[in-house]
Amino acid sequence: MTKTVAILGCGPAGLLVAHAANLQGWSFHIYSKKQKSPIFGAQYLHEPIPGVTGTDPEDGAVMLSYRLRGTPESYRHKVYGPSWDGNTSPEDYEGDHYAWDLRGAYDKLWFDYGDEVVPTEFSGASWSPKVIAVERADLVISTIPRTVWDDNPDNFQQAYIWALGDGDYQRVHLHRPDPFTVICDGTKDNQWYRVSNIFGYCTMEWSQWWNNPFASVTPPARGAARVAKPLAYTGNAARDIIHLGRFAQWTKGVLTSDVFKESMKIFANDSIEANYEQTS
């Protein structure tokens, strides 16, 4: 008998779950606002997605260069402050590595699975997937932000940054690096800590630690958006469903391509109980 997964959210993570379900022979329902999620700035896939991007560098990958100014420690302190001791992107990713076009992948996923979205509004932490999904699904996988399930801010560890997308402000263009380059700046020479130029999109980012350790709400440049960077979730809300993706898990370092890999493992595992234990 075919198993069914209820997928919450239709951003890149949600549609990658649907793609994995389709490849593994599961049926699925996608519950979300019926619209494509905007992709902000310079983003990319760290690994290829079979059936979407191709499976090797000859199928559209580019070589992306990471460049660090200063030391990993100085960069970490500049971005997250002196109390956080986890890894940062210059440490996690090789200096040069392949990158695949996230926007192009999302376009194809939307073409393949966008019509499967059931229009749904997620209204606050009290909303339960059991209302629409559990009775007709073997699994429920949420890719929507964990904050939908839990309205207690004490359960969320996060760092706030400011981000400016390409075309919003002249300073981005003044500091634009070479194509397919990410510069991570841990020095005191620049107020920004990272500037990226990937697939024609440029992003500049500032940490609120740079001038004010108490998370200033004053933007460093016209048009900059204040963004929360998830670090860790310490609550217990919605432990009865699976959460995949950086904002759904509220965990630093979760990549979009990780959602696909984890989904493939989940759908290949016949033990529903084991799936919940591994991902809750």
Report pLDDT for 274: 46
CB 140 within 8 A of CB 129: yes
Judged on CB neighbours under 10 Å (0-12, 13-18, 19+), 154 is exposed
CB 255 within 8 A of CB 46: yes
Q: What's the rounded Cα separation, in Å, for the pair 74 and 69?
A: 9
Residue type, 186: G
Report pLDDT for 75: 92
Where is 173: in which H helix or E strand? helix 170-174
CATH fold label, 1-38+101-152+235-280: Rossmann fold (3.40.50)
Q: What's the rounded Cα separation, in Å, for the pair 114 and 10?
A: 8
Query: How many C-beta atoms lie closer than 10 Å to residue 25's C-beta?
Result: 10
* Partners of 197 in the β-ladder: 181, 202
Both tokens of 272, joined, read 């529903």
Q: What's the rounded Cα separation, in Å, for the pair 219 and 213?
A: 14
The closest alpha carbon to 224, from 232, 216, 235, 236, belongs to 216
Q: Where in the chain is the domain with CATH 3.40.50.720?
A: 1-38+101-152+235-280
Phi-psi map region of 223: left, alpha, beta (phi>0 left; psi -120 to 50 alpha): left
Report pLDDT for 24: 95
pLDDT in tens, the chain (280 residues): 789 999 999 999 999 999 999 999 999 999 998 899 989 889 999 999 999 998 777 778 999 999 999 999 999 988 888 888 888 888 888 789 999 999 999 999 999 999 999 888 776 555 555 555 555 788 999 999 999 888 899 999 998 888 987 655 456 666 788 999 999 999 988 888 999 999 988 899 988 765 444 445 677 777 888 888 999 999 998 888 899 999 999 999 899 999 999 999 999 986 444 454 445 4
CB 101 within 8 A of CB 44: yes
CB 83 within 8 A of CB 76: no
The closest alpha carbon to 209, from 196, 192, 222, 184, belongs to 192
Report pLDDT for 212: 45
